[in-house]
Amino acid sequence: MNKRIIGFFAGLLVTAALCAQGSRNLKITEVVTANTDGLMDECGRRSAWIEITNTSWTTVDVRSCYLTTDRKALDKTLSVPERTRLMSVVPKGDEHTCLAAQQRIVFFADGQTNLGTLHTNFILVPGEETFLALFDGNGETLIDSLTVPPLADGQSYARLFTDEGKSSHWIVLDEADVTPGFPNRGQDATVDKVAEFKEKDPYGFAMAVIAMSIVFGCLAFLYVFFRTFGWFMDRMAKLARVKAIRKIRESATKVAVIAKDGMESRGVDMETYMAVIGMALHEYENDVHDVESNVLTLHSEEHSDWNAKDNAMRTWHQ
């Protein structure tokens, strides 16, 4: 039971860590304070809006994050409940808050949260300098913040990423260059490569050709690899069989030679046989014989009847 509880809390901690790491990829990328003739909300109304972008290549959910225009929220001495009362929370339960890779979402700063998830409880005053901050769902971690300068009607304060997203800078865009929900474009703006590719290939033919080329190229590579690998393994198996046959033949040849030598030498090793003959010839030539004691011993055998052959014969009586 204790292991289950520990595993449950460990899973919660890991999930929370992953969510916190993903939310750090959220950035405020464009702000409009005076929307006179631009983007409209789902009710057909125009109001100030804030664009947030998922700068990562993974899915990130904006739900439970906080937006605020109150600088008091930066006070670290505040408790979480005190800080969250100064901010507008992104409600849960809306699929629009789940952002895919490089996707953007627009929140309307009209102070009317009753209109839906994409509306904040504060407003942005046109023509005035405005502080804006984005906090994580824990109500404590600051993700992004900026100070929006006074903007004219229709203008936006846009963030332009440079060095492949490693750094960024802010510029004021005219109404014609405002792009809510799309990559920012304007003075010295870097066009998003995905958007540029989409613009050049609106129907996806080039993407389909590239994807199919990659797939078939990988399949061809795998075919060649496994074909070559199979040939190599078959070659190695054949070489192993040839070596085994050669060893068997060599062993058979040796056995045949040994058998032939054994037949000729009557079972005695030829080298031993030759050594014995050589030793005998050497002793004969050098008159080598056994050392004797020069004593002649005679053995006398006494006969008795118990071992007489006659006693073993059957006697016939007439």
Q: What is the pLDDT of residues 54-75, one digit of tens each?
A: 988 889 999 999 999 999 999 9
pLDDT mean over 205-221: 89
Classify strands 88-89 and 26-32 as parallel, antiparallel or unpaired. Answer: unpaired
**What single-letter amino acid sits at 37?**
D
pLDDT category at 291 given cuts 50, 70, 90 is low
Least confident stretch, 61-65, 82-86, 286-290: 286-290
Per-residue pLDDT tens over the stretch 14-30? 454 444 457 888 999 99
pLDDT category at 124 given cuts 50, 70, 90 is very high
Query: What pTM was computed for the model?
Result: 0.55
Ranked by mean pLDDT, the top range of 54-58, 272-276, 288-292 is 54-58
pLDDT category at 305 given cuts 50, 70, 90 is low
In this structure, is the dihedral angle defined by the CA atoms of residues 121, 102, 30 and 174, taken in order, positive or negative? negative
> Could you tell me which residue, 302 or 191, shows the higher pLDDT?
302
Percent over 70 (pLDDT), the chain: 74
Task: Please state, rounded to an integer, the average pLDDT across all residues of the chain.
Answer: 81
- Whole-angstrom distance, CA of residue 127 vs CA of residue 48: 11
Three-state SS sequence of 35-74: CCCCCECCCCCECCEEEEEECCCCCEECCCCEEECCHHHH
Rounded (5°) CA angle 57-61-63: 160
Ranked by mean pLDDT, the top range of 161-170, 183-192, 201-210, 215-224 is 215-224
